[in-house]
Chain A
Amino acid sequence: MRKILSITFNDMILYFRDPGAVIGTFLIPVVFAVVLGFAFSGNNGPTQVRIDVIDNDNTALSQLFLTNLRQANTALVLCPADNSEDDFCRLGDDPALTEERSLGRLSNNDTLALLVIPAGFEASVEANQPVSVTYRSNENAAAPTFILQAVQAVVQRMGGALVASNVATNTVAEALPFDDDAARDAFRQQAYDEAAQLWAENPFSVSYVAAAGAPQASNSQGGFGQSVPGMASMFVTFTVLISAINLIRERKNWTLQRLTTMPVSRAQILAGKILMYFLLGMIQFIAMFGFGLLVTTILSNFSENVTPLYLGQDALGLLLIMASLTLCMTALGFLMGTLIRTEMQGAALLNLLGLSLAPLGGAWWPLDIVPEFMRVVGHISPIAWAMDGFRKLLFEQGTLVSVLPEVGIMLAMAAVFFVFAITRFKIE
């Protein structure tokens, strides 16, 4: 083990000996991420969040409730009502939702929350009877709090306005009887509108918008939340794929051959080098996210359009995605190292792989904006799975558990690459 660590440490020193290494590894990727971050700002594409809504009441009031909810947070996509043409809600051919089906979708992470409006909702409200709207969130995805906050805020606002209009209506009725029910309803509506208006202007509801929508409300999250993980994934890919070229160089230097005449096993040599590139990739990943946070934090002091990059609520999940992608690419790098003969071939293959896997996997632009077909094809790139995972964490309040499928696929890819690389690895 000591020898493995010595090899790792020595290779790390060798890597950073190159004066361009720091610039190439840290500075350039950050510049790319910042520029792209601004380019994508205002794009709310990836900021949407699915919630299932079962409206058993289906009255004007329940519809109003949902309209208010949409307005409260534009990130929410109410399924099935607001499903997009390309089936953002993931409903398939059957748009009908039952409570049972929705519960299944919740546990599959297909949706993040379920809202059930009970039958008789409008009637109960009008009769001033207590009524409750059921809200369920995915326990695994650790209750996306901003959805609940949006719901609660709407309930509160509407409830307050309804009370006010009811009170108003009743008060008016006693003093000055209405001509008929229509007149009475018109008055009630007017009173409600005025009351709702007042509530909307109420400082409380303003503070709710800020609190609940924080990450989603900002234009910059859409941009930086895409560009930081995207550029980080791409540059980490380049960095660890260089390991292939480095193997060739060490063979040319004869240092690799010299190592094999020493009491070090091939497995130890390989392990040391794999560990080095894995650590290097992780350092770069973490640094990129750190710089992304730093830059957006600084910029947020100067511009209202920029908020500090929101990194989700589960740092461990974030690290796990980074680790899986880095491992996967390191394995690919070593496989590549066994296939190429010269540094020139290595450089060519590096560019080919890096420059195809990155855009395919959605490192340059979100995969939401590409045709369905490309989105499917893109998932041959490990980066696509990493980006899916990042998006769950940065935009959908996902947790470690919710990104396990992506992590699993990347690790499986890594295993396949490693098996091929190790069986092909030769030193002489």
Chain B
Amino acid sequence: MRQALVEARGLMKTYKRKDGTEVYAVQGIDLDIYKGEVFSFLGPNGAGKTTTISMISGLLAPTKGEATIGGFSITRQPMEAKKLLGVVPQEIALYPTLSARQNLDFFGRMYGLGGKELAMAVDEVLEFTDLKDRAKDRVDTFSGGMKRRVNIGVGLLHKPQLVYMDEPTVGVDPQSRRRILDTVIRLREERKMTVLYTTHLMEEAQELSNRVGIIDQGRIIALGTVGELVQKVGEEDRLIFDVGEQHIDNAVLERFKQVAGVTRATYQSYNLKPAAGAEDSAEIIVEKRSTGTMQIVRSGQVTDGEITVYAKRGRKALPELLRIADELGVSILSVEVREPDLEAVFLHLTGRALRE
């Protein structure tokens, strides 16, 4: 029997614009977060992740609806509810002129710790976040990644049952990101904590979560384990062929569709625009919309085309597809095989990519 630690019902938040019209930041969220799981909110910028977290942490009063933590209403029994909870805000919520230790010390007291217990908790967090040797330095002398770690550490001081982490990897280098993700896994595995994690990166949600809620425009549009969600888009792999500037006609796509296992084949071409200010340079860096990868193209080369093939067991179909391309004189610059993922789910549900 799974026990819900957080229960939210009909949470809604609206803001009034200057002209009097209402903006829906969150428009009705029902949610159960079970004890011991990592639950992720996955959604693009402005989806309402922070607003939802703020409402279930007592920072924002919901316009409608309510939430409980461990059975305590966050609006009517805030003290009891908040004791169970550690929050890691999206912003670095620290006193920049204080040292890491001073920050931890102060916030520890706010969680009701004191004396030996506090000193031990602070030491433990410094150890856990690997900041022992910088404990005495002012936070404003820290790197972005180190600040993030202190920011996380504060939320763990009182060993809460439940931790909210709001996009804790924003703006950090890959190494620090890895560290933070490992921290989340350790919290679940070693400390049996329940974690609510928000991100707009599907890789993170996919790696960390027991369950994922995909959130868009203030609503949860899909909820379940990664496996369950991916099933929604079927079990097809996507094969993405980069064909550069070549023109691809329908005949090629028709031939592709006849290969065993292939269900669909589409061709898209993009006009690549150089980044503002880089128009005159010999080489320009552009981002491919479909894969989100960065590419260097020669100046003047302004179109880029891709054939996307949907196929069951795509890797098996690959040699045959390449042979056909060769036969038709289409040169393939690169191939990428994508197994079904949350990105595809989001695309499937909204028709938009997660990262714009």
Report yes or no: B109 in contact with A260, Cβ–Cβ below 8 A.
no
**Given that A261-B57, A265-B79 are contacting pairs, would A255 and B95 also be in contact in the complex, using a CB cutoff of 8 Å?**
yes
A370 to B98 CA separation, bound complex (whole angstroms):
47
Report yes or no: A13 in contact with B98, Cβ–Cβ below 8 A.
yes
- Tell me if A424 is interfacial: C-beta within 8 Å of chain B: no
Question: Chain A: how many interface residues by the 8 Å CB criterion?
Answer: 23
A427 to B109 CA separation, bound complex (whole angstroms):
20
17 further A-B contacts with Cβ under 8 Å, apart from A255-B93, A261-B85, are A2-B114, A13-B102, A14-B97, A254-B89, A257-B54, A257-B89, A257-B93, A258-B87, A261-B58, A261-B89, A262-B107, A262-B110, A262-B111, A263-B82, A263-B112, A265-B78, A427-B59
Produce 1/0 per residue, A248-262, CB < 8 A to B.
000001110111111
- Tell me if A341 is interfacial: C-beta within 8 Å of chain B: no
Measured between beta carbons, the chain B residues less than 8 angstroms from A265 are 78-79
Report yes or no: A263 in contact with B91, Cβ–Cβ below 8 A.
no
- Tell me if B177 is interfacial: C-beta within 8 Å of chain A: no
Report yes or no: B112 in contact with A254, Cβ–Cβ below 8 A.
no
Task: Give, as a whole number of angstroms, the nearest-CB distance from A289 to chain B.
Answer: 30
A262 to B83 CA separation, bound complex (whole angstroms):
7
Report yes or no: A259 in contact with B89, Cβ–Cβ below 8 A.
no
- Tell me if B94 is interfacial: C-beta within 8 Å of chain A: yes
Listed from nearest, the 9 A-B pairs whose CB atoms lie closest are: A254-B93, A258-B93, A261-B87, A254-B91, A6-B109, A263-B82, A17-B97, A261-B57, A262-B110
Could you list which residues of chain A lie within 8 angstroms of chain B, going by C-beta atoms?
A: 2-3, 6-7, 10, 13-14, 17-18, 253-255, 257-265, 427-428
> Which residue of B is nearest A264, CB measured?
B110
Report yes or no: B58 in contact with A14, Cβ–Cβ below 8 A.
no
- Which of A13, A14, A18, A254 contacts B92 (CB under 8 A)? A254
**Given that A262-B111, A263-B82 are contacting pairs, would A17 and B98 also be in contact in the complex, using a CB cutoff of 8 Å?**
yes
> Which residue of B is nearest A6, CB measured?
B109
Measured between beta carbons, the chain A residues less than 8 angstroms from B34 are none
Task: Give, as a whole number of angstroms, the nearest-CB distance from A412 to chain B.
Answer: 32
B78, B97, B98, B110 pick with most chain A CB within 10 angstroms = B110
Task: Give, as a whole number of angstroms, the nearest-CB distance from A254 to chain B.
Answer: 4
- Tell me if B96 is interfacial: C-beta within 8 Å of chain A: yes
> Which residue of B is nearest A426, CB measured?
B61
Report yes or no: B102 in contact with A263, Cβ–Cβ below 8 A.
no
- Which of A6, A7, A255, A262 contacts B94 (CB under 8 A)? A255
> Which residue of A is nearest B85, CB measured?
A261
- Tell me if B142 is interfacial: C-beta within 8 Å of chain A: no
A371 to B60 CA separation, bound complex (whole angstroms):
52
A263 to B70 CA separation, bound complex (whole angstroms):
15
Within 8 A of A (CB), among B45-104: 54, 57-60, 78-79, 82-83, 85, 87, 89, 91-98, 102
Report yes or no: B154 in contact with A258, Cβ–Cβ below 8 A.
yes
**Given that A261-B87, A263-B83 are contacting pairs, would A3 and B110 also be in contact in the complex, using a CB cutoff of 8 Å?**
yes
Measured between beta carbons, the chain B residues less than 8 angstroms from A2 are 109, 114
Task: Give, as a whole number of angstroms, the nearest-CB distance from A279 to chain B.
Answer: 17
Task: Give, as a whole number of angstroms, the nearest-CB distance from B295 to chain A.
Answer: 37
A14, A255, A261 pick with most chain B CB within 10 angstroms = A261
Measured between beta carbons, the chain A residues less than 8 angstroms from B111 are 262-263
A171 to B98 CA separation, bound complex (whole angstroms):
89
Produce 1/0 per residue, B108-122, CB < 8 A to A.
011110100000000
A427 to B102 CA separation, bound complex (whole angstroms):
23
Report yes or no: B79 in contact with A263, Cβ–Cβ below 8 A.
yes
- A-B CB contact pairs (8 Å), 17 listed: A14-B98, A253-B93, A253-B94, A257-B59, A257-B89, A257-B91, A258-B107, A259-B110, A260-B58, A260-B59, A261-B85, A261-B87, A261-B89, A262-B82, A263-B111, A265-B79, A428-B59
Measured between beta carbons, the chain A residues less than 8 angstroms from B85 are 261
A255, A262, A264, A427 pick with most chain B CB within 10 angstroms = A262
- Tell me if B106 is interfacial: C-beta within 8 Å of chain A: yes
Task: Give, as a whole number of angstroms, the nearest-CB distance from B5 to chain A.
Answer: 16
Task: Give, as a whole number of angstroms, the nearest-CB distance from A291 to chain B.
Answer: 27
Report yes or no: B112 in contact with A3, Cβ–Cβ below 8 A.
yes
A260 to B82 CA separation, bound complex (whole angstroms):
9
Task: Give, as a whole number of angstroms, the nearest-CB distance from B184 to chain A.
Answer: 19
**Given that A13-B98, A260-B59, A263-B83 are contacting pairs, would A6 and B93 also be in contact in the complex, using a CB cutoff of 8 Å?**
no
> Which residue of A is nearest B54, CB measured?
A428
Measured between beta carbons, the chain B residues less than 8 angstroms from A10 are 95, 102, 106
